Amino acid sequence: MRIIIAGVGDVGYHLAKELSYESHDITAIDINQQRLAHTDSMTDILSINGSATSLSILKQANADKADLFIAVTSSEEMNIASSILAKKMGAKKTIARISNEEYLSNEVKINFKEIGIDFMIYPEALVVQETVNLIKRTAATDLLEFEGGKLSVMGIRLDKNAPIIHKTLNEVAKEYPNIDFRIVAIYRNFRTIIPMGKDKFLPNDQVFVITKPEGIETILKLAGKENINFNNIMILGGSKIGRGVAKLLPEEMTVKLIESDEDKTFSLADELPRTLVIHGDGRDIDLLAQEGIIDVDAFVAVTEDAETNIISCLMAKHLGVKKAIALVDKTDYVPLTQTIGLDSLINKKLNAATNILQFIRRGEVLAQTSLEGIDAQLFEYEAHPNSSVLKKKVKDLDFPKEAIIGGIVRGEESFIVVGDSQILPNDKVVIFSLPAGIKKLEKLFKS
């Protein structure tokens, strides 16, 4: 596929890396020479320095022959304008990153396809949903739902006194023969492991489990966790994400939002009648104490500044907050934060990139999600009636060792996959895979 990426910030860079890995022909356009050079050196792409709204640059990038044009610069206007231009020049499909929720809502209907934008992504909305899920599912570090919750993938960090510590996978499976879950990955010492039967659980492992809704309680018990209900939430930063989270949290939760820009606080208070909006700096310990940080269950730091978010989350943890969630948009920090004791972190840009990849692979892939901090992806494939996965039982398939099948959704039912499972046509299959396994997976599911 010929793909043009306009803007190689974090999202564009991540996309370029992922897509060049899958041997697509990628042309990157960016106005910043340095950023472009960096991307160029790390990936196998053609780079063009210039503005994505310049016709000559677009022509130079062969926009007329492109299969896909992705506009992910930091400016919404530029993304929209360049997508339209590229489409009019002959690009087959266009994707624009936006920063305005209204474009996706149905209040005023505008046919964006008609003017040349096939798909719009609004990363903030994805992050908001993820954050709210994390607050609701308190013991999990990650939580991803498939097919409306019929299957979910949960990330949990193992406590020292968890019942399954120092046991192998096989032992656990023997002990709990009737439970509906499967361990798909373990993240340990910066490495993602696809576990085999003989692998042991160690303290501080981050374990990813696929489960049916009924299995969640048992899993939490095994990990030595309890799902407590959170009532007291504190949000730092009244950005679009902060607003969105405050709006989406259930009514019975007490929500406080701290914002340092005085003008912004008033419009926040206007928009969020159920939230107590506080003017101040989230790193000010006196302020946090005054607003009862001691009683806060979850602390969500979503200012624009990654450092502030990390520091304030650490402070909140230090003051006894049960769960701290930080928005960390600097991809370089992602591995670091896991070790310094943050519970969950969210990355707007990775989220956006994943969302775009999902769009690109649409067809076979129904959904695709990345797990923060670990170099792996979750896919939801639909099994085509004549694809090769249907021919054998799961244990006999030539399955990549970098990937693992988690579960199947068949109509209204869902199953956790074991060796003897057989995939049937039109099953929706949830698969966990390291990047190296993706190519092989695609072949297996291709019709």
Partner 1 sequence: MNFKIIFKLIGFLLMLTGLFMTAGIPFSFYYRSDDIPALLISALITSATGFILWLLTRKTENNEFGKREGFLIVTFGWLVMALFGALPFMIYGTITNYTDAFFETMSGFTTTGATIIQNIEVIPAGLLFWRSLTQWLGGMGIIVLSLAILPILGIGGMQLFAAEVPGITKDKIHPRVRETAKRLWGIYILLTFSEIILLLIGGMNLFDAINHSFTTMATGGFSTKNASTGYFSSPFIQYVFIIFMLFAGMNFTLHYQMFHGKFSFIKKNTEFKSYILFIAIVTLIVTVVHLPHIDFHLEEAFRQTLFHVTSLVTTTGYVSSDYENWAPFSRMFFFTLLFIGGCAGSTGGGIKFARHYLLTKNGLLELKRLLHPRAVIPVRFNGKAVGMDIISNVQAFFIFYIGIAVFGSILLSIFGLDFISAAGAVATCLGNVGPGIGTVGPVNNFAHLPDIAKWILSFFMLMGRLELFTVLLILTPAFWKS
User: Is 40 or 291 the residue whose CB approaches partner 1 more closely?
Assistant: 291
Angle CA 273–345–407, to nearest 5 = 105
CB closer to partner 1, 168 vs 254: 254
Q: How far apart are CB 248 and partner 1 at their closest, in Å?
A: 19
Q: Which two tokens stand for residue 167?
A: 């046991």
- Stretch of 88-96, 274-282, 306-314, 362-370 lying at the interface with partner 1 (CB under 8 A): 274-282
Q: With respect to partner 1, which residue has the nearer C-beta, 159 or 291?
A: 291
Q: Give the helix, strand, coil percentages of the chain, each rounded to 5.
A: 35, 25, 35
Residues from 315 through 354 that contact partner 1 (CB under 8 A): none
Per CB under 8 A, does 442 bind partner 1?
Answer: no
Nearer to partner 1, 264 or 440 (CB): 264
- Helix 123-136 vs helix 240-248: crossing angle, to nearest 10: 40
279 belongs to the binding site for partner 1 (CB under 8 A): yes
The reply to whether 269 sits near partner 1 by the rule CB under 8 A is: yes
Nearest approach in angstroms of CB 236 to partner 1 is 13
Phi then psi for residue 256, to 5 deg, are -115, 140
Q: Is 268 in the site for partner 1 (CB under 8 A)?
A: yes
Distance between CA 383 and CA 86 in Å, rounded? 34
Among residues 33, 170, 290, 447, the one that binds partner 1 under rule CB under 8 A:
290
**Which positions from 8 to 47 touch partner 1 by CB under 8 A, shown as an x/- string?**
----------------------------------------
Q: Is 190 in the site for partner 1 (CB under 8 A)?
A: no
394 binding partner 1? (CB under 8 A): no
Side by side, which strands form the sheet with 46-49? 46-49, 25-30, 2-6, 68-71, 93-97, 119-121
Rounded to 10 degrees, the C-alpha dihedral 295/298/303/307 comes to 90
- Going by C-alpha positions, the residue among 239, 383, 253 that lies closest to residue 302 is 239
Considering beta carbons, is residue 282 or 407 the nearer one to partner 1? Answer: 282
Binding residues for partner 1, rule: CB under 8 A, are 265-270, 273, 276-280, 287, 290-291
